[in-house]
A and B are shown apart, each in its own frame.
Chain A
Amino acid sequence: DGGITQSPKYLFRKEGQNVTLSCEQNLNHDAMYWYRQDPGQGLRLIYYSQIVNDFQKGDIAEGYSVSREKKESFPLTVTSAQKNPTAFYLCASSDRGSTYMGNQPQHFGDGTRLSIL
């Protein structure tokens, strides 16, 4: 079954600690994305990657880091510099979007809920 797997489902972070959220997809999608969702804020883009070994900052990248060493994987690290990390984190993937090739829908994982201890 093709899809996106995020783990863990729930995560707790201590003060000064970095934590890493996993995102794996077997849809053979080129593009992957990380979003943060807070109540009433919709989805805000943290980082995105259109191809392996390349990624771009989204709208709220401060305090986060990512890597894209494999097409299937796009882990997100929430660093201690992110002072308000409590949120619902969603990973998504899609075929690479292009206004000429046609725009592609995003497929989302089930999310990770991160809280501060």
Chain B
Amino acid sequence: GQQVMQIPQYQHVQEGEDFTTYCNSSTTLSNIQWYKQRPGGHPVFLIQLVKSGEVKKQKRLTFQFGEAKKNSSLHITATQTTDVGTYFCASLYDSGGSNYKLTFGKGTLLTVNP
């Protein structure tokens, strides 16, 4: 089935440094969704990208969808301790018979040293 590969698996930064996580696929993706899961919590939807080359911003977070729709990135500028958590990308695909489901990457765990 369709898979999305996410790198890096872990990232530790000093507060104020930037952070980027990447999501890659060997096949063209219909969309990319990004989620954040705080330690001990549940995933929370951040954003969805649909169009080739799309870029969206949420305060210090910048999301990009590649021109070929095979990769995506999440960039955080000047990290804060509140950014700690695991960031997941996910893509929707048709598993057959018009049944749609999300496939999640394994996530990038971000830790921030204050």
Instruction: Name A's B-contacting residues (CB within 8 A).
Output: 33, 35, 40-45, 48, 50, 56, 58-59, 90, 92, 96-99, 102-103, 105-111
Interface string of B84-96 (1 = CB under 8 A from A): 0000100010110
Q: Contact at B101–A48, with CB atoms within 8 Å?
A: yes
Comparing B53-61, B64-72, B73-81, B103-111, the segment that makes contact with chain A is: B103-111
Q: Contact at B100–A50, with CB atoms within 8 Å?
A: yes
Q: Contact at A97–B33, with CB atoms within 8 Å?
A: no
Determine how close the nearest CB of chain A comes to the CB of B108; give it in whole angstroms. Answer: 10
Q: B114: which A residues are within 8 A, CB to CB?
A: none
Which range contains the number of B residues in contact with the other chain?
A: 20 to 34
Interface status of B30 (Cβ within 8 A of chain A)? yes
Q: Contact at A41–B33, with CB atoms within 8 Å?
A: no
Q: A42-B106, A90-B42, A108-B42 are in contact. Are A103 and B88 (CB under 8 A)?
A: no
30 pairs from A and B in contact (CB 8 Å cutoff): A33-B102, A35-B104, A40-B9, A40-B106, A41-B106, A42-B88, A42-B105, A42-B106, A42-B107, A43-B88, A43-B104, A44-B104, A50-B99, A90-B42, A96-B100, A97-B101, A97-B102, A98-B98, A103-B30, A103-B33, A103-B48, A103-B50, A105-B33, A105-B48, A106-B33, A106-B35, A107-B45, A108-B44, A109-B42, A111-B42
